[in-house]
Copies of this chain bind each other. A is one copy, B any other.
Amino acid sequence: MTDYIEPRVLKGFRDFLPDAEITRRSLREKIESTFRSFGFLPIDTPAIEYAEILLGKGGGETEKQIYRFKDNGQRDIALRFDLTVPFARFTALHRAELLFPFKRYHIGKVWRGENTQRGRYREFMQCDFDIIGSDNPASDFEIILLIHTALSNLGIDVNIHVNHRGLFNRFLSNLDLGSKSVEILRTVDKFSKVGEDETQKNLAALAGDEKAQKILQYTGAKGSFTDVLNRITELSGGPSAESQRLLLLHQYAQDVSGSFTFTLDPSITRGLDYYTGVVFETFLKELPDIGSVCSGGRYDNLAGLYSKEKDAISGVGSSIGLDRLLVALESLGKLPDAKDCLLAIACADDKNSGLYQSLALKFRQEGIPCEVFLEADRQLVKQFVLAEKKGMRYVIIPGDNPLTDKLTLRCLASRSNLELTFEEALEKIKT
């Protein structure tokens, strides 16, 4: 018989120990800082909402994966499974209080009772950013530029693949396949997973051999942005509002100086139904095989399901997969070393702990994080070892008068001690 409760976490859930949590926060802060530099504003919504709101029109996968339950008042409630649905509800509810075009980001946890065998988690962090209330190409472009900038600021080179679902639909309509566009889009979306033969077979089953061939010609168009654009414009029946928009995006990209480019890739369709315009996926140049780390697109009517008003709010947005990005950065050796406390004050005699704190405050006031060790130990060796394990660089060995005596600064890497004034120690630590 045990007299304790076994400590464990649920399958698909994770604790974050300090090193992992510091890294995740640092990544998040850098991304947020880019969002803020573009004038995007943060919002937050509750983790729990009415189930009818989160389930909306319903949908097989969502219904199966959502954490849904009754609260003590017998309300039918659920945990959010993404940040898009809550944002649609938020927009409908606060429409009158928002300034449009509204540029927002939202970083928060979501929960899905997914099969964990595929390396998926049941609790994970989403990071969404959108511009709503504007249908112009400049918004599409800003979202794409923001993806590029946010990831560049993390030291990552990316290829952004862009397509226009409306143009593809125009092409399908010309083939008399308009009514099958959802199935065809989904089939094309799986190309990279199942390969060309399988895709052709599946398309042929939907549209016949000849049309399947034409679809693969369209989605397989390769070359420079202009070459591909010309090709798919022609295949879709000549210039249109959709092809004009793609042309404008290309011109905008050329107007932005620096290394910013993106690829026109007619095979990108995004599986989700609600995209109607430009869609995009983002691949790491050094690790393309892990799949898209940031995907999104333009949608027509974000808040329609929750709005009495009939005028639609269209928008364009994207989502960074933080967990996938963390794994990628780790395997590229590009995880930021975000440890910021590199200095400890050893505890030579705990009757002086107040004085050690006072000395530490002086360093902190100069912007240097500083930990005070709390357990007295005349030998100090244990404290050096602890500081090293914590990833610190320096330990101050205080004398009997920590605030007035010279300081002994131990450099852990070289195992050498220096006798310094406070100002000299500060100088040494800052460099």
A interface list, Cβ under 8 A from B: 2, 4-10, 13-18, 21-22, 24-25, 36-39, 41-50, 52-53, 56, 64, 67, 69-73, 75, 77, 79, 89-90, 92-94, 97-99, 101, 103-104, 109, 111, 113, 123, 131, 134, 136-139, 141-142, 145, 149, 248, 251-258, 303-308, 340-341, 344, 347, 350-355, 357-358, 360-361, 364, 369-372, 374-375, 386, 389-390, 403
Contacts and interface: CB of A to CB of B under 8 A. Distances in A.
* Copies of this protein in the complex: 2
B353 A138 contact: yes
Given A354-B254, A354-B255, A46 B14 contact: yes
Contacts of A370: 37-39
Nearest to A341: B39
A145 B370 CA distance: 14
Contacts of A252: 353-354, 357
Nearest to A16: B44
Contact of A4 (B45, B254, B306): B306
B46 A10 contact: yes
A6 B56 CA distance: 11
A111 B48 contact: yes
12 contacts: A5-B52, A13-B46, A15-B44, A18-B42, A36-B340, A38-B364, A39-B390, A47-B47, A69-B70, A136-B350, A252-B353, A256-B361
A348 to B, nearest CB: 12
A90 B389 contact: no
A276 B331 CA distance: 46
The majority secondary structure among interface residues of chain A is: mixed
A7 B92 contact: yes
Given A7-B53, A38-B364, A248-B351, 20 more contacts: A5-B306, A9-B93, A15-B43, A15-B90, A16-B44, A18-B42, A22-B42, A38-B369, A39-B344, A39-B370, A39-B372, A46-B123, A47-B109, A47-B123, A69-B70, A71-B113, A101-B375, A251-B354, A252-B354, A255-B357
Contacts of A305: 4-5
B357 A9 contact: no
Contacts of A71: 10, 67, 113
B21 A44 contact: yes
A65 to B, nearest CB: 8
Contact of A39 (B2, B49, B109, B371): B371
